[in-house]
Amino acid sequence: MTYWCANGHRVAPLFAADVPAPTTWECPRCGQPAGQDQLHPPGAPRAEPYKSHLAYVKERRTEAEGAAILAEALRNLRQRRGEE
């Protein structure tokens, strides 16, 4: 099975005969996806911007929910420390 990336690199990995070959393979030279069609290789994957844990939390929680969760966590912490 032969794969080609958008940069024209040829990759020919070996697979077991009883296992179906994947439709794409990562090019070891440039890291781009490589496909089995030399004239139409797959495009570069879409780059996802880095998101912090806080950004993901803000997608799922409202400001009020976040404040309530923080207040509960602080209350539990103070109880364990014996401050309340």
9-34 residue pLDDT tens: 999 999 999 989 999 999 999 999 99
To the question of whether residue 51 is assigned a binding role by annotation, the answer is no
Strand runs (DSSP E) across the chain, as ranges?
A: 3-5, 10-11, 24-26, 33-35
Domain-wise residue ranges, the chain: 1-44, 48-84
To the question of whether residue 42 is assigned a binding role by annotation, the answer is no
Is the pLDDT score of 35 beyond 90? Answer: yes
Over residues 49-78, mean pLDDT: 93
To the question of whether residue 30 is assigned a binding role by annotation, the answer is yes
To the question of whether residue 53 is assigned a binding role by annotation, the answer is no
Report phi then psi at 39, rounded to 5: -80, -20
d(CA 50, CA 32): 19
Query: What one-letter code names the amino acid at 41?
Result: P
The domain over range 1-44 is classified in CATH as 2.60.120.380: no
pLDDT at res. 64: 94
- Arithmetic mean of pLDDT over the chain: 93
